[in-house]
Chain A
Amino acid sequence: MELATEILISFFLVLAGVFGLVGSLGMVKLTNTMQRLHAPTKATTLGVGGVLIASMLYFLLVEGTFSFHELLIALFLFITAPISANFIAKTYIQAHLREADLPSSEGEYGWSVYDDPPESDDEGEGFA
């Protein structure tokens, strides 16, 4: 194992660690729930991403095998992170905010926590 490979892999590992730390720090430092939500959805993505890149590089350059289930982890992360963030945001809005605290939806219907959806005749096309 050459020095350059080691440095490259360590670089990604350290980068990942730093971003993971910053994301967690954001949870402590920021003041309200909506702001705190930004820390784990973003800063942490590169944290996990860095570890995954390092892992793929390790298998490719050191073990000499191509490993790609890291891509699957990244894919699942990209699907689940926004959805859980959305759940937390909606719950927070429902519990702590009134309609007057939010800007208007600029449309016929209000935000979905406060307003019923329009009557729809085609099944499966509804918005929750």
Chain B
Amino acid sequence: MLKRVFPHPLLSLTLAVVWLALVNKVTPGNLLLGLLLGIAIPFVTAPYWPGRPIIKRPLRVVEYVFIVLWDIVVANFQVAAIILFRRNSNIRSHWITVPLELTSPEAITVLAGTITMTPGTVSAMLSADGSAILVHCLHTDDPEAVRDDIKQRYEWRLKEMFQ
């Protein structure tokens, strides 16, 4: 019964919260409308969601969000420093291949987004079977350290969350 009303509970919750944030005011009426949207939209779109990500440890998500937010702030200062204080001839850019252990498309999407937002790296492309990700690094002297950093800091945590 509960499964029929909420085919996709996470989406329902997201929609309700997004609605409340859009109107920017929490009143009983808005809450009700948000919940209504949260029930109606997943119900109508359920056929288009063949596979659903299962998040095993929700607390890890909170931890991950804060780590990434902190890294984004650090990344901003690092990239700003490179732009302002480094000569173009001194910037050593590298392409880096990061082999992936993640398999779910959702997890890989989150990882690719994280890589783009954090220190000096932009995710550019996946391999055709999704087993590796191509990353462009703005400036580094040690491409392997960057790769290990991505694997240890982000991929390992995502693996715990999604698999």
Contact = CB atoms under 8 A, between A and B. Distances in A.
Nearest to A74: B69
A102 B128 contact: no
A72 B34 CA distance: 15
B3 to A, nearest CB: 20
A64 interface: no
Interface residue tally on A, bucketed by range: 35 or more
A104 to B, nearest CB: 7
B117 A81 contact: yes
B122 A107 contact: no
A46 B127 CA distance: 31
A109 B128 CA distance: 6
B126 A127 contact: yes
Given A45-B72, A82-B117, A112-B125, A38 B112 contact: no
Interface residue tally on B, bucketed by range: 35 or more
A103 B96 contact: yes
A61 interface: no
B132 interface: yes
Interface in A1-56: 19, 22-23, 25-26, 29-32, 34-35, 37-39, 41-43, 45-46, 49
B116 A86 contact: yes
B56 to A, nearest CB: 19
Interface string B100-133: 0000010010001101110010111111111110
B136 interface: yes
A116 to B, nearest CB: 6
B26 to A, nearest CB: 9
A106 interface: yes
Interface of B: 18, 21-22, 24, 50-51, 72-73, 75-76, 79-80, 83-84, 88, 91, 93, 95-97, 99, 105, 108, 112-113, 115-117, 120, 122-132, 134, 136, 138
Given A34-B136, A124-B51, 18 more contacts: A19-B80, A26-B79, A34-B93, A38-B136, A39-B79, A39-B83, A43-B83, A46-B72, A69-B22, A71-B21, A81-B116, A85-B122, A106-B132, A107-B99, A107-B127, A111-B125, A118-B128, A125-B105
